[in-house]
């Protein structure tokens, strides 16, 4: 290589080296520049952290600055809602609870953030839930308006003995709130219940005018008798007469009633005897806040009534008193074309008073005691036909909720009563009345019920319990012949019963619920007797009836399927029973020229039934409808059978006879037209007929008396 070529090659290498060095100098700054950049980045990060911490502290201080939240809860008409539950949740583990007072106001003290969630719930209203930031929590007083709950969202206790939404209940149940009861024109509770399709009384005469021994309830066409074929409860305590099974509807002051639930269909798997056709469950108000309610009225026929409820609360103690009085001069119930000189207005008067004392033991436990006194007097359409009743009852109860063991409810009750009544015979033109019998029925009863319930893994709820009762009653009578005392007649006995029940509510899938339950009842009648002691020299006669016992098994299975949130389909099958009362077993009675003999060999009435139905809501739950097909068949119904007929006397006897059936369709709807207008309605078609009646086959295929077809 020449020197020129060598110089040229070296020059090119130097140029390439310098270009590489310049590139390195452009991509990597000097060491002092690197140190300066690192220091600036570190300072920036520290400043950002301090600024973030300052903002967090400032925000937390601002968010926690509110220490009190006050507000009022109203309905859509502007009226306050008392006893509404107000809950404030700041996170999943912190909750503050309060209740509204009689004016609908509430107050929550503590650290409150705008991101907390406020929820409000009240019976009969749809639940309200929102963040505080969305409802102007900084206002001096927050106002929350609750809308009426859709039919499917209302909560029922009666159907399963635990709180369940109506939309999740596989049964036919109607709930009447105190507002609905107060808007009816009915003067008595049983007349108010007539707005429920399928509800009727024996002879369809209300308690305002009818003899109390005819106040037996019939639901869905099971057929009424003096002994009710539905059980009536007041806060879980039976109101059915312990001796005869009839009902005194005025024993619960109307102003003290919070709501009433009516379950149609056999329910002996939970409530035992008398729940043959269903359950009427009355819930009274609790003494949680000071309140005073008074309602009074006056009308024609000198009809006046007044109803009072007052409650006070201090610390852990609460007390309430309720009272009611009613009287009417009444009217003559015999048609004008058939009246005679002996016919007088059917009038009545009654009074009731109840005192309840409550004690809160903790947030999960409370006890109470109550005493109740009731008196009633009636004239039953003629000068000699009258009756009086005096009842005294005491009740004690315990409610205890635990996280692990479950919820416990216990009730103990006892009472005494005396029922006085006179009977007479009236001649054909109703011009002369003759006394036939004077009766006094003393009765005593004591009872105990214990219930346990517990949810399991959020997919199952177990319910179990027992009920025990003992009744002693007798009918002491003075018989008259031709208007003169003739003999002392007495009949009665004792009854002891025990029932054990169990129910399992299983959620097999998010949209499928299965409920299975059963109850076994065992009762025994003993110390039963019948005596006749003539006032003449004739020797007395006495008969001691043998002890008797019987057992009833009542299973129940139901299924509810929800293919959509606004649609529920359900079906159930059940067995139910009604045991004969002491009155039916041992007491004979005479009304006019008809003598009805007792029958100590009566057995329990049995019912097998089922239903299938659907409930549907639309227009954002402003319209709720329900339809159900039902079928019930009753065997061994107790009926009066005619034995002999003479010009002066017709003799009958109570007997277990044949088979009856009631089947039909039930429709109900509830439409919220506007914030102020609601339209509700119902319809029931009942095809209730006699299937078998061996004593008189001519009655087979006929309709059951005293049951409305529509």
Q: DSSP characters for 369-406?
A: EEEEEEEEEEEESSTT-EEEEEEEEEEEEEEEEETTTE
- For residues 525 and 532, give the distance between their C-alpha atoms in angstroms, rounded to a whole number: 21
Angle at 609 between CA 607 and CA 613, to 5 degrees: 155
* Residue 102: pLDDT over 80: no
- For residues 241 and 219, give the distance between their C-alpha atoms in angstroms, rounded to a whole number: 18
Higher pLDDT, 288 or 425: 425
Give residue 83's pLDDT.
79
Token pair 């109860």 in the structure block, residue = 397
Structural fold of domain 281-699: Maltoporin; Chain A (2.40.170)
* Residue 9: pLDDT over 80: no
Structural fold of domain 66-146: Immunoglobulin-like (2.60.40)
Point out which residues pair with 660 in neighbouring strands.
Answer: 634, 690
pLDDT tens digits for 295-347?
999 999 999 999 999 999 888 899 999 999 999 999 999 999 999 999 999 99
Least confident range of 29-33, 80-84, 291-295, 654-658: 29-33
Give residue 177's pLDDT.
85
pLDDT tens digits for 625-670?
999 999 999 999 998 888 899 887 889 999 998 899 999 999 999 8
* Residue 398: pLDDT over 90: yes
Higher pLDDT, 576 or 185: 576
DSSP 289: S
Point out which residues pair with 142 in neighbouring strands.
Answer: 71
Confidence at 35, pLDDT banded by 50, 70, 90: very low
Q: Mean pLDDT throughout 221-228?
A: 83
- For residues 264 and 299, give the distance between their C-alpha atoms in angstroms, rounded to a whole number: 34
Confidence at 458, pLDDT banded by 50, 70, 90: confident
- For residues 106 and 118, give the distance between their C-alpha atoms in angstroms, rounded to a whole number: 12
- For residues 171 and 175, give the distance between their C-alpha atoms in angstroms, rounded to a whole number: 12
Ranges of beta strands (E only) in 427-547 are 433-456, 460-481, 484-509, 512-534, 541-544
Give residue 491's pLDDT.
94
Give residue 54's pLDDT.
45
The token duo for 335 is 């048609």
- For residues 696 and 690, give the distance between their C-alpha atoms in angstroms, rounded to a whole number: 11
Q: What is the 3-state secondary structure (H, E, C) of 434-461?
A: EEEEEEEEEEEEEEEEEEEEEEECCCEE
Q: Mean pLDDT throughout 169-188?
A: 86
Q: What is the CA radius of gyration of the chain?
A: 37
Task: Say if residue 443 is exposed, middle or buried (CB neighbours under 10 Å; 0-12, 13-18, 19+).
Answer: buried
Higher pLDDT, 319 or 675: 319
Confidence at 81, pLDDT banded by 50, 70, 90: confident
* Residue 40: pLDDT over 50: no
Least confident range of 200-209, 273-282, 288-297, 534-543: 200-209
Give residue 142's pLDDT.
82
- For residues 391 and 393, give the distance between their C-alpha atoms in angstroms, rounded to a whole number: 7
- Torsion sign, CA atoms 456, 466, 257, 246: positive
* Residue 451: pLDDT over 50: yes
Give residue 457's pLDDT.
81
* Residue 697: pLDDT over 70: yes
**Residues, the chain, total?**
710
- For residues 512 and 521, give the distance between their C-alpha atoms in angstroms, rounded to a whole number: 30
- The 10 Å Cβ neighbour count of residue 487 is 18
239 within 8 A of 284, measured Cβ to Cβ: no
Higher pLDDT, 2 or 327: 327
3-state percent breakdown (helix, strand, coil) of the chain, nearest 5? 15, 55, 30
* Residue 111: pLDDT over 70: no
- For residues 436 and 482, give the distance between their C-alpha atoms in angstroms, rounded to a whole number: 8
Give residue 94's pLDDT.
56
Give residue 264's pLDDT.
94
* Residue 537: pLDDT over 70: yes
Distances (CA, A) of 195 to 226, 411, 542: 21, 31, 48
Distances (CA, A) of 678 to 149, 260, 615: 11, 19, 18
* Residue 285: pLDDT over 80: yes
* Residue 3: pLDDT over 50: no
- For residues 361 and 363, give the distance between their C-alpha atoms in angstroms, rounded to a whole number: 7
User: 78-82, 198-202, 207-211, 487-491: which has the highest mean pLDDT?
Assistant: 487-491
Q: Which contiguous run of DSSP H or E holds residue 16?
A: helix 3-27
- For residues 421 and 378, give the distance between their C-alpha atoms in angstroms, rounded to a whole number: 9
- For residues 345 and 352, give the distance between their C-alpha atoms in angstroms, rounded to a whole number: 23
Higher pLDDT, 288 or 328: 328
Sequence-ordered list of residues with C-beta below 8 angstroms from that of 126, at least 6 positions apart, any chain:
146, 147, 148, 149, 150, 153, 621
Whole-number average pLDDT of the chain:
85
129 within 8 A of 119, measured Cβ to Cβ: yes
């Amino acid at each position: 290589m020449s020197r020129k070529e060598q110089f040229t090659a070296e020059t090119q290498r130097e140029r390439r080296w310098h270009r590489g060095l310049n590139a390195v100098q452009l991509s990597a700054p000097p060491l002092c520049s690197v140190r300066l950049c690192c220091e600036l980045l570190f300072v920036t990060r520290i400043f950002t952290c301090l600024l973030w911490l300052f903002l967090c502290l400032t925000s937390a201080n601002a968010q926690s600055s509110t220490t009190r939240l006050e507000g009022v809860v109203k309905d859509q008409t502007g009226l306050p809602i008392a006893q509404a539950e107000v809950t404030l949740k700041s996170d999943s583990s912190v909750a503050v609870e309060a209740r509204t007072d009689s004016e609908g106001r509430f107050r929550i003290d503590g650290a409150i953030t705008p991101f907390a969630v406020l929820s409000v719930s009240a019976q009969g209203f749809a639940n309200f839930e929102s963040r505080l930031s969305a409802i102007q929590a900084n206002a001096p007083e927050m106002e929350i308006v609750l809308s009426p709950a859709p039919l499917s969202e209302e909560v029922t206790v009666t159907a399963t003995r635990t709180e369940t939404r109506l939309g999740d209940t596989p049964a036919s149940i109607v709930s009447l709130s105190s507002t609905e009861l107060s808007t009816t024109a009915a003067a008595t509770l049983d007349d108010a219940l007539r707005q429920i399709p399928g509800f009727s009384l024996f002879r369809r005469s209300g308690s305002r005018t009818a003899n109390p021994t005819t106040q037996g309830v019939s639901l869905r066409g099971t057929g009424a008798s003096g002994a009710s074929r539905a059980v009536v409860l007041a806060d879980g305590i039976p109101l059915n007469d312990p001796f005869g099974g009839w009902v005194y509807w005025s024993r619960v002051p109307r102003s003290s009633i919070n709501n009433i639930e009516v379950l149609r269909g056999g329910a002996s798997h939970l409530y035992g005897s008398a729940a043959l056709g269903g359950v009427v469950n009355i819930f009274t108000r609790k003494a949680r806040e000071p309140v005073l309610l008074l309602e009074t009225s006056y009308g024609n026929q000198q009809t006046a009534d007044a109803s009072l409820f007052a409650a006070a609360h201090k610390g852990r103690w609460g007390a309430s008193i309720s009272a009611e009085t009613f009287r009417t001069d009444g009217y003559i119930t015999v048609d004008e074309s058939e009246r005679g000189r002996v016919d007088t207005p059917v009038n009545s008067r009654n009074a009731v008073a109840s005192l309840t004392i409550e004690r809160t033991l903790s947030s999960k436990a409370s006890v109470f005691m109550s005493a109740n006194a009731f008196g009633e007097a009636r004239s039953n359409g003629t000068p000699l036909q009258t009756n009086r009743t005096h009842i005294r009852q005491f009740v004690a109860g315990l409610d205890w909720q635990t996280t692990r063991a479950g919820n416990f409810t216990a009730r103990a009750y006892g009472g005494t009563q005396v029922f006085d009544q006179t009977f007479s015979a009236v001649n054909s033109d109703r011009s002369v009345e003759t006394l036939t019998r004077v009766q006094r029925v003393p009765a005593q009863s004591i009872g105990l019920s214990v219930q346990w319930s517990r949810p399991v893994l959020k997919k199952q709820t177990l319910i179990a319990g027992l009920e025990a009762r003992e009744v002693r009653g007798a009918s002491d009578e003075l018989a008259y012949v031709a208007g003169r005392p003739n003999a002392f007649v007495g009949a009665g006995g004792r009854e002891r019963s025990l029932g054990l029940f169990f129910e399992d509510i299983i959620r097999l899938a998010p949209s499928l619920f299965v409920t299975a339950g059963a109850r076994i009842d065992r009762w025994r009648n003993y110390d039963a007797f019948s005596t006749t002691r003539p006032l003449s020299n004739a020797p007395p006669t006495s008969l001691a009836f043998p002890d008797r016992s019987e057992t009833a098994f009542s299973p129940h299975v139901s299924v509810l399927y929800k293919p959509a949130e606004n649609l529920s389909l359900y079906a159930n099958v059940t067995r139910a029973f009604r045991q004969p009362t002491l009155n039916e077993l041992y007491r004979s009675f005479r009304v006019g020229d008809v003598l009805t003999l007792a029958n100590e060999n009566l057995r329990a009435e049995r019912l097998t039934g089922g239903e299938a139905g659907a409930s549907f809501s639309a227009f954002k739950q402003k319209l709720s409808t329900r339809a159900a097909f039902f079928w019930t068949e009753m065997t061994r119904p107790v009926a009066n059978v005619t034995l002999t007929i003479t010009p002066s006397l017709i003799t009958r006897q109570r007997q277990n006879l044949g088979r009856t059936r009631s089947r039909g369709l039930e429709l109900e709807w509830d439409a919220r037209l506007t914030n102020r207008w609601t339209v509700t309605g119902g319809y029931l078609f009942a095809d209730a007929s006699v299937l078998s009646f061996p004593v008189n086959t001519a009655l087979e295929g006929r309709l059951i008396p005293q049951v409305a077809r529509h």
